[in-house]
Amino acid sequence: MRLQLRGGTRHEGPEAFELSDAWLQDGTPVPPDALTFKLNTLADRRHSGSHYWIDSGSVYLK
């Protein structure tokens, strides 16, 4: 899948992400409006004062 930034300003950053394209492992396209996703962001706490994070997520059929 491919995400697209939505809303916000260049200075403040995007307000949200939305699905722009999705496809199966074999390349078959999937309509983005047939899917929903949830991002799971974890702060990297290995280095104090670090501003890094780890992103993962899940994709679901609506």
Nearest CA to 44 out of 53, 35, 36, 56 is that of: 53
Q: What is the pLDDT of residue 50?
A: 64
CA distance 32 to 4: 11
Position 60 scores a pLDDT of: 92
Q: Domain coordinates of the chain in residue numbers?
A: 2-61
What's the whole-number mean pLDDT along residues 25-54? 82
Strands 2-6 and 16-21: antiparallel
pLDDT, tens only, 9-38:
888 888 888 899 999 999 999 999 999 988
Average pLDDT, the chain: 85
Residues 6+ away with beta carbon under 8 Å from 26:
none
